[in-house]
Amino acid sequence: MLIDLLWRSLLNRRGTVLLSVLTIGLSVALLTGVEKVRQDMREGFFNTVSGTDLIVGARTGQVELLLYSVFHLGSATNNIRWQSYQRIARDSAVEWAVPLSLGDSHKGFRVVGTSSEFFERYRFGHQHQLQLSSGRTFQGIHEVTLGAEVANRLGYQVGDQLVIAHGLGSTSFSQHKDQPFTVVGILAPSGTPVDQSLLVSLESITAIHVGWRAGVPMPGLSVDANKLAEMELTPKEITAVLLGMKSKTQVFQMQRAINGFSGEPLLAILPGVALQELWQVIGTAEKAMLAISACVVLAGLTGMLGVLLTGLQQRRRELALLRAIGASPLHLLSLVVMEAMLLTAAGIGFGLSLLWFALILAQTGLYETFGLYLTLGWPKELWQILALVFAAGTLVGILPAWQAWRYTLADGLTPRT
């Protein structure tokens, strides 16, 4: 009986009811959308580099080392001698070691000198491996494999040639024009800093600096391709090293050994710990986004409260007639509270459906444009937020329900003048 009355009452006021559901639904879609983006952004951030047990560089802060070695932001305070890298790589506890050499750029994008093993060992997300969208990985000197963002922004294709600049500025007057590179491959988007990098061999980095002193080319010291082919191009220094251990139990032991390295001052960091420290610095924005969305939901619930109170004034005669045919004040209170619960549940359902379709439509575009991969799963925190919204919507219905409780027969049946 009560459910039937509720349904008929809502149908009779379907215009205002739909408007209330729409308001709540949009608010819920915004709140859950922000929370979804926040959760997936956080997970993607912490999985920028996965499968790497240690990152080794010159002794500095662990956030600084993480920034320049993984995110390619800033510069290293010092380099690592090649002999030190070899000693670390030959350690019996080390399964693999990938060297990184930074310091050059191309039109504002970082050039990363590394070994071909980088494409096999570098992991992101849930152990995803880098994939090629076209061409192949570099194999010799003067060959470059481009990140997806570099190729997209600068319009490069396989077979094009480019010139690497000395230093990290977007505009440089010190360019290695005598040794142009050929694009041999383009990587598929990964949502990592690799998308904005140009990957070349360590030997290529050494080759382009032959005849340079203190960042300046020396007249008469340039060499041609034939001479470069005969030269020993093993680097003397590198910037950082990515390490994978044979056993996870040896990670901390190896970290202590590197931090106390006798050859030169080095620092080994755990990527997860450094990412957590960095997130504490930049994670304030996500809390602000969530707070703004919560305010929007509050505004939506306030709108629903207004709809209920206005509708209550219009339904005074209806409620009085219900009292006249035997409905108790408790029945009226239950009727209004159930109405608020139903409107809130319908708004939540509409908001989730709206968000679901938005995720399906925007998933590919966000990944390719911003490197943000949004999953279609719902984390536990999201359900907790929705439960709070439903509880808040129920509480909002208490005020009009209390007023309905106080109504008497005379309130609805006595004509107003």
209 vs 72, higher pLDDT = 72
Residues 297 and 221 in one domain: no
HSE, CB side, 13 Å, CA atoms: give it for residue 365.
5
Domain assignment present for residue 62? The answer is yes
* C-beta of residue 206 within 8 angstroms of C-beta of residue 235: yes
Q: Give the pLDDT of residue 95.
A: 94
The domain boundary residue, chosen from 246, 269, 292? 269
Q: Is residue 277 part of a domain?
A: no
User: Is there a single domain that holds both residue 130 and residue 226?
Assistant: yes
Query: How many domains is the chain partitioned into structurally?
Result: 2
Question: Do 196 and 336 fall within a single domain?
Answer: no
Confidence of residue 100 (pLDDT cuts 50, 70, 90): very high
Q: Say which residue, 263 or 334, is predicted with more confidence.
A: 263
Q: Quick check: helix, strand or coil at residue 142?
A: coil
Q: Which of 6-15, 242-251, 311-320, 370-379 has the highest mean pLDDT?
A: 242-251
Question: Domain boundary residue among 269, 300, 322?
Answer: 269
Whether 276 is in a domain gets the answer no
- Give me the pLDDT at residue 318, please: 63
Per DSSP bridges, beta strands 143-146 and 128-129 are unpaired
Note the pLDDT tens digit of each residue in 375-399.
666 767 778 878 888 887 777 777 7
Tokens, residue 310: 């206005």
- pLDDT: is 153 or 363 the higher one? 153
Residue 414 has what DSSP assignment?
S
What is the mean predicted confidence (pLDDT) over 259-280? 87
pLDDT tens per residue, range 109-139: 999 999 999 999 998 877 788 999 999 999 9
Helix or strand run (H / E) with residue 145: strand 143-146
Instruction: Answer yes or no: do 8 and 70 share one domain.
Output: no
359 and 292, same structural domain? yes
Of the two residues 413 and 12, the one the predictor is more confident about is: 12
Q: Where in the sequence is the domain holding 290, given as residue range(s)?
A: 2-45+283-413
Can you tell me the mean pLDDT for 80-86?
94
Binning pLDDT at 50, 70 and 90, where does residue 371 land? Answer: low
Q: Note whether residue 275 is domain-resident.
A: no
Using alpha carbons, list the distances in angstroms from residue 153 to 99, 146, 147, 150, 211: 27, 11, 10, 5, 32
How high is the pLDDT of residue 48? 79
**pLDDT recorded at residue 201:** 94
Whether residues 32 and 105 fall in one domain: no
The model's pTM: 0.70
For the chain, what is the mean pLDDT? 79
Nearest by Cα to 56 from 100, 95, 93: 100
What is the model's pLDDT at position 342?
83
Among 2-6, 244-248, 288-292, which range has the highest average pLDDT?
244-248
Q: What is residue 116's predicted lDDT score, i.e. its pLDDT?
A: 92
What tens digit of pLDDT does each residue of 307-359 get? Answer: 666 666 556 666 666 666 666 666 666 777 777 788 888 888 888 888 888 88
Q: Are residues 260 and 356 in the same domain?
A: no
Q: Where are the beta strands (DSSP E) in 154-309?
A: 161-162, 165-166, 181-187, 197-201, 212-213, 216-217, 237-238, 240-245, 266-269
Same domain, 355 and 248: no
